[in-house]
Structure 1
């Protein structure tokens, strides 16, 4: 049975563990919701857990809700450059930052019109780094309670508390803030490098 997931922005470790271990179908027909991992992620910095949030162009008035796939990115504040600089500052001393730097840079250099396209491109880029195949299946209609899919769309909820036991790995500022579990996949990639895939596959999710 395929697992139904939202293509989040630089997904967290729990979500990526499913991407590399299960057959995925991307939810692309739902409505956009605020305060979710659709347009945000968390990384570890010298200040502790830090959120990277993507600004979008909101629709208003009579338009009401909009489809996730129709959400347009707002580049007026140059957020992509800021996100990349924040990642460089946070992880430049990590063991594998220089190893993956050139591969991940295009995520922040290429300007996509739609949030969905950016997220899928970022996930595909990270899949390439992990040397796993990028899931291609997408939904064709929105189904509230799908019977033929393992519905894991709740993982996009940024307020949901995870119950997964994440094994400790070395983090850049671990001596200062302790271990920060389930950050963006980039935290695991920069700190664990070629061991990241083994870590993901060993998670009990």
Structure 2
């Protein structure tokens, strides 16, 4: 059984969707420390003049706050900016806006308190649209874990009965496969390859990679996930 683990991301990018799509169970690492200025509360969308960064403001209490405890700062209407950026500036004329735009912007009708709930809502929208049905569980629901890094990931993987853990390439620098060996778990590297596709508002301009997954959805539609899957086996 292949498991993948990752922190929840706001408007997740294709690399995270690819990881979820390739595993039998996805563990949302919501009990670990919140990463400031990371992708847990922001991501890029594609505009005519380049990438636009959408950031969810969060309440700053301490540097050691866990993701599950992180709250959204709703003192100013950040949701209006995000909705308008998506609906008016970036994707209003996208081929699949009429079909999926309302589902995406509906996220901003609610005043979210916890960042993890907002992030998971934006993730679920694209998972549903692309037909990805991988079961998910939050690490905070699996019990107490005091280990760090490789030991933590190995413990969680063992807890859910995994035989293989799928890891992103960025973890090669710190992940210790020997730790997983002790738990009888094989480490498999994702090797994500980013597909290129038509971006309606970028005609004649350079393709913008690493945008939020809604960019692929709104430009190509649900069949866009096949481009991601095909890229796995490309030379």
TM-score category (smaller protein):
0.7 to 0.9
Q: Determine if the alignment matches structure 1 residue 13 to structure 2 residue 41.
A: no
* Residue 144 (structure 1) aligns with: 149
- For 2:114 and 2:232, the matched residues in 1 are separated by 33
The two structures have a TM-score, normalised by structure 2, of 0.76
TM-fit CA distance, 1:118: 0.6
Does the aligned pair in 2 maintain the 1:42–1:184 contact within 8 Å? Answer: yes
Normalised by the length of structure 1, the TM-score is: 0.86
| Equivalent pairs, count | 195
> Who wins on radius of gyration, i.e. which is larger?
2
CA distance in 2, matches of 1:77, 1:47: 26
2:60 to 58, 79, 102: 58
Partners of 1:48 and 1:14 in 2: CA distance: 20
Distance 2:90 2:210 in 1: 16
Question: Structure 1 residues 182, 86: CA separation in 2 closer, same or farther (over 3 Å shift)?
Answer: same
- Give the conservation status (yes or no) of the 8 Å contact 1:81–1:109: no
Give the CA RMSD over aligned residues.
2.1
In structure 2, what is the equivalent of residue 158 of structure 1? none
The aligned counterpart of 2:174 is none
- Are 2:19 and 2:166, in contact at CA under 8 Å, matched by a contact in 1? no
Query: Which 5+ residue runs of structure 1 have no aligned equivalent?
Result: 156-162
CA contact (8 A) 1:48 1:177 kept: no
Structure-1 residue corresponding to 2:162: none
Q: Which residue of 2 aligns with 1:121?
A: 121
For structure 2, the 5+ residue unaligned runs are 158-164, 172-190
